[in-house]
């Protein structure tokens, strides 16, 4: 049973405005110059690597930005350019929120339950409401439109609207699935914020949102477990900054979960062949794990082995790289390959290789039912790279977002992308 990786293509308004409170990388780089072109090319190179490793690879599109419709909901009126000009003059920070390219992090697009786990035998996807961060809370309608187009065959897929915004849901970034293999029934672990967070940063995932997603998907074997408060305080705003799972393997920092012992005991009992590969604090500090995004990696099933796709920052930290080399050298561990990718443009805004993808285990028949315009091959990747080279800006600072030329360029880039893929704006509910 294959696993489709759906990566977000970085949009032409990718910028560093420090919009994500609690995301240390995003806060650190606030105001710096970004390169939307380099960011998109780095993401496409990672997609090409995963595809060449033998996995199906797809993409989700950058959203239409700046989000004029959202600004109209906030009281600005008139034609698009008048709305944007008024927002730029009155509240440039609000325009930065409306211009966010954060939909590139598709690990937050939705929570996915594969068919072997669900009561009706279909793949279920619930779009995340991302309610805790203003720059992300207006993403879900665009994400929902894309997922309903890509997975519109109701024989295989059910795509749900977000849970109510009163209960923050951050999608697959706080969701783990463990099973003997992708085609077997699994245990889905929904990681939520602890009841009381006394640290400097908020918990983004509500327990009630996690429980609601498990119920609406009809998940037969669900576990709800809290994040460790110290992980959130260290900058692990999502659980996927400190843990990743694949098949029967959990790769995590030993301080990722508030109820670590109970969780590991449950998984040992309920997942055949369960293996925990934990980084001890004595070798990999929680701070270094967060800074390097060691665990924000893609753990992939390949024939007879597993591979880990890591950000370059993990290789550059000597203590972390030594620990990883020990992991792959140990025959008792199932992870045998390390692949390093450069996604620095994403990393500087607080998202690594795993943030950039939504993973969906599905049957060959279900994969054939996915809208092919969202799937990639070498030829399409070549065409996307050429398009990015032509249309994506080479540099951008937050102050540029108030310029009409920036808005026009972003619109032109997205029109060219939709044209390349053969997707009409009306199919996504856009004018």
Task: Tell me the catalytic residues.
Answer: 170, 238, 355
Q: How far apart are CA 260 and CA 270, in angstroms?
A: 15
Neighbours of 244 (CB within 10 A): 23
Burial 57-93 (b: 16+ CB within 10 A, else e): bbbbbbbbbbbbbbbeeeebeeeeeebbbbbbeeeee
Q: How far apart are CA 267 and CA 189, in angstroms?
A: 9
Q: Is 2 helix (H, G, I), strand (E, B) or coil?
A: coil
Q: How far apart are the first and last CA of the chain?
A: 38
Q: How far apart are CA 25 and CA 311, in angstroms?
A: 14
Neighbours of 168 (CB within 10 A): 23
Q: How far apart are CA 180 and CA 226, in angstroms?
A: 24
Biggest distance spanned by C-alpha atoms of the chain: 65
Q: Is 34 helix (H, G, I), strand (E, B) or coil?
A: strand
Interior angle at CA 428, CA 424 and CA 431, nearest 5: 70
Please give the structure tokens belonging to residue 284: 């990999």
DSSP 174-208: GEEEE-SSTTS--EEEEEE--S---SSS-----HH
Nearest C-alpha neighbor of 249 from the set 299, 320, 294:
299
Q: Which residues, 6 or more positions from 404, have their beta carbon under 8 angstroms from its beta carbon?
A: 81, 84, 85
Instruction: Give the up-direction half-sphere exposure of residue 1: CA atoms within 13 A in the CB hemisphere.
Output: 18
Q: How far apart are CA 103 and CA 14, in angstroms?
A: 10
């Amino acid at each position: 049973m294959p696993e489709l990786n759906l990566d977000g293509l970085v949009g032409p308004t990718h910028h560093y405005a420090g919009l994500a409170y609690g995301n240390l990388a995003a806060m650190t780089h606030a105001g710096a110059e970004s390169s939307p072109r380099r960011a998109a090319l780095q993401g496409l190179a990672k997609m090409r690597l995963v595809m060449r490793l033998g996995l199906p690879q797809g993409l989700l599109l950058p959203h239409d930005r700046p989000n004029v419709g959202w600004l109209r909901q906030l009281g600005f009126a008139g034609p698009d350019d008048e709305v944007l000009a008024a927002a730029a003059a009155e509240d440039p920070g609000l325009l930065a929120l409306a211009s966010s390219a954060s939909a590139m992090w598709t690990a937050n697009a939705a929570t996915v339950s594969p068919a072997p786990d669900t009561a009706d035998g279909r793949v279920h996807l619930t779009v995340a409401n991302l309610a805790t961060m203003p720059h992300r809370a207006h993403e879900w309608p665009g994400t929902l439109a894309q997922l309903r187009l890509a997975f519109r065959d109701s024989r295989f897929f059910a795509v749900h609207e977000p849970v109510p915004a009163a209960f923050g849901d951050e999608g697959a970034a706080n969701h783990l699935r463990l099973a003997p293999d992708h085609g077997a029934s699994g245990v889905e672990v929904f990681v939520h914020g602890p009841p009381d967070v006394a640290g400097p940063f908020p918990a983004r995932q509500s327990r009630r949102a996690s429980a609601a997603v498990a119920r609406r998907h009809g998940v037969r074997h669900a576990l709800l477990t809290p994040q460790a408060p110290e992980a959130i305080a260290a900058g692990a705003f999502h659980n996927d900054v400190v843990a990743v799972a694949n098949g029967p393997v959990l790769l995590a920092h030993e301080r990722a979960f508030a109820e670590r012992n109970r969780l590991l005991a449950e998984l040992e009992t309920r997942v055949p062949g369960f293996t925990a590969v934990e980084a001890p604090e004595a070798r990999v500090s929680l701070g270094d794990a967060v800074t390097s995004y060691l665990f924000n990696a893609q753990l992939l099933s390949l024939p007879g082995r597993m591979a880990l796709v890591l950000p370059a920052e993990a290789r550059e930290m000597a203590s972390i790289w030594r620990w990883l080399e020990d992991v792959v050298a140990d025959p008792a561990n199932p992870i045998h390959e390390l692949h390093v990718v450069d996604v620095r443009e994403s990393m500087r805004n607080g998202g690594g290789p795993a943030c950039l993808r939504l993973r969906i285990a599905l049957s060959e028949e279900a994969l054939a039912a996915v809208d092919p315009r969202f799937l990639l091959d070498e030829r399409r990747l070549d065409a996307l790279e050429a398009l990015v080279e032509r249309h994506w800006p080479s540099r951008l600072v937050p102050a540029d977002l108030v310029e009409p030329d920036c808005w026009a360029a972003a619109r032109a880039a997205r029109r060219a992308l939709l044209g390349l893929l053969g997707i009409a704006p009306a199919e996504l509910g856009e004018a």
